[in-house]
Structure 1
C-alpha cells in the first residue's frame, strides 16, 4: 500500500500591513517637540510635511527644527531645494513617497512603521489619501507674468477660471495660486478637475494637536522668531534671491521684508505677523477637521500627549 502524500506546506503568512503615523495640527501647536518624542520612543525618523521647511536657508521664519533638535533624531524631507527652485505638490509627493517607502523597509521587529509630522494640509492629503495632482512641470515664463500681475489679480483670475480651486487656496497664497493657474494655462483644464485619489498601501493613523492656548503660543513664538534672527535671515534671502522671491511674500518673511524696506517698525511687524499667523492657524484647523479624522491628543504637557499618542499607537499595533 502506497504511503500517503505529504501534506502541502502551509502558505506563508501575509506580510504585515505597514503603519504610517501622522502627527498634524496648526502652526505652533507643538508638533516638533512631540514628533521628536515619538521618534525617540519608536526609533523612527521624523519625515517633514511642512511646505516651507523644504527650502534651504529658510530656518528661522519657518520654525524649522534647530540643529540641536535635529541632532536628537534623524529628520528627513528638510532642505530639499533652494528657495528660488520651488517644488510643486506632485514633485513633493513623489519624493516623500519614496522616503516613506525607504523608512518602511528599514529592518525592525514587528510591523513596518514611518512617522510624518507637519501642518501642510494639502501635502499631507497627497500622501495619506493618495491625492494625485497633475504632473505639470514648472513654467518659468508664466510665473514671471503672474508675479508681475500681482497676487490679488492672480487670485481673481483663478476665481473666474477655477472657482473650486480658488475656494481651497487662501487669497494671500501666491505659491499655490500661481501653481493652479500654471496647470490651467499649461493643460487647458482646471486644476480641480485633474486631482484624483489613489489610496496608498498603508494603514494610516492620524494624531492631531490643537491646544486651547494656540493664540498665545503663536504670539510667543512670533516674538521668539524676531528675537532669533528673522530680520537677518530675511535680509540674507533678499540679498541672494531678490525682494520679489515669492516665498518672501509668505507669513513672517513678508512682514520682516516691510521692516527692512522701512514700511513697518519691528513692534508693528510682530503684531502683524502674529495676527496673520493666527488667521492662518484658523484655516489650518478648518482644513484638518474637514479633510482628516485624527485622534485629537489632549493633556496639558508634551509628556501627557506623548503618553496618549504612544498608547494609541500600541493599541493599533496589537
Structure 2
C-alpha cells in the first residue's frame, strides 16, 4: 500500500505546559478528529492536579482516550501504549475520523512510529529469582552484574531503580541477549500517513514562566492533598513510575519528611523545567516535524488545518 493510501493520523507533540491541550481542543472542534492521549502520567487514576489532566469541562468538549486507565500501583510500558494506541487508532478510522495523538511522552511516539524491539515477555519465575537475589545480596550487587554483561544499560540505569534494573537482567537471562542489543533492533513501522507537529513558545523564558505559573495553580488547586491521598494508601512507594512523575516525587519527599514544603515546590518546578528541556532536545532531533508557536494559537490552528487540506487533495 502506498503512503497516500494509508489512513491519516496527526501527532501533536511538545514540552510540558506548551499549550498542547488547548490546541487539541480547538482542533477537535474544527476537524473530524478524535484525541488519543500520549502521556505516561495521564494514564493514572487519582492523579489529576499534578499531571495537569484536562478538566471535566475540557474532556466534555474534546474526549481523550487512554486517560485514567490504570491505578497508580500499576506499571505501563511503551509496548502497552503501542498496543492500546493502535487499537484506538483503528477504532477511530473505522468511525470515519482521524486519530489525533496529543502529549509529551516522546518514548511512546517513538514506539508507535518505529515499532518495538523484539524484547521477550516478562517471566514471573525469573523476576522472582531476581527479587530474591536483591533481598539477599542487594540491588548494588545486581547492578554490578548488569555492568559486566551490559555496560551501556548499566550506565543508563541507576542502582536504585529496581524496576528497570530487574527488567534488564530478566531480558538477558531469558534471551541470552543484552537489552542494549535487542533495543537496537526495530519493529514494525506505523501503518499510517502521519502529519507531525510540535508546539512550544519560541522564547524558552516564556515556557519557564508557564511552568512556574502552572505549578502555582496546581498547589492552589490542592496538589498537596492529592499526593497525600496517594501517600496514605500505604501500597505505593517512590520507585513506582506513577510516583516518579515530576511534581509527585518532590511532594512525596515533603510528606515523607525529607524536604520542606518550599523545597518541594522549588524542586518540582526545577524538575518540570528539566523535563521540558529533555522533551525539546528530543524533538529537535525529530524528523518531518512542523513547529508551531504557542504564542500564536490562531496561526498554529490554521497551519494544522492547512496541512489536512493538502492531505485531502
Could you say whether these structures have the same fold, taking a TM-score greater than 0.5 normalized by the shorter chain as the test?
Answer: yes
Whether contact under 8 Å (2:119, 2:182) holds in the other structure is: yes
Q: Would the alpha carbon gap of residues 173 and 285 (structure 1) be closer, same or farther in structure 2, given more than 3 Å must change?
A: farther
- Mean CA deviation greater in 84-93 or 178-187: 178-187
Q: Would the alpha carbon gap of residues 114 and 146 (structure 1) be closer, same or farther in structure 2, given more than 3 Å must change?
A: farther
If you compute each CA radius of gyration, which structure gives the higher value, 1 or 2?
1
Deviation at 1:315, TM superposition (A): 2.1
Equivalence map 1:251-270=2 (5 Å) = 251-270=246-265
Equivalence map 1:138-287=2 (5 Å) = 139=124, 141=128, 161-165=149-153, 179-195=167-183, 196-211=186-201, 212=203, 213-240=206-233, 241-244=235-238, 246=240, 247-287=242-282
Gaps of 5+ in 2: none
Equivalence map 1:130-141=2 (5 Å) = 130-132=115-117, 134-137=119-122, 139=124, 141=128
Whether contact under 8 Å (2:72, 2:236) holds in the other structure is: no
Q: 1:33 and 2:22 equivalent?
A: yes
TM-score norm. by structure 1 comes to 0.82
* Paired position in structure 2 for 1:7: none
TM-score norm. by structure 2 comes to 0.83
- Mean CA deviation greater in 269-278 or 234-243: 234-243
Two-structure CA RMSD over aligned residues (Å): 3.0
Whether contact under 8 Å (1:23, 1:209) holds in the other structure is: yes
Whether contact under 8 Å (2:171, 2:178) holds in the other structure is: yes
Deviation at 1:252, TM superposition (A): 0.6
Deviations 1:275-311 (A, max 9, x none): 1111121111111222443100136232332122212
Whether contact under 8 Å (2:198, 2:292) holds in the other structure is: yes
Gaps of 5+ in 1: 1-13
Whether contact under 8 Å (1:90, 1:135) holds in the other structure is: no
Whether contact under 8 Å (1:48, 1:76) holds in the other structure is: yes
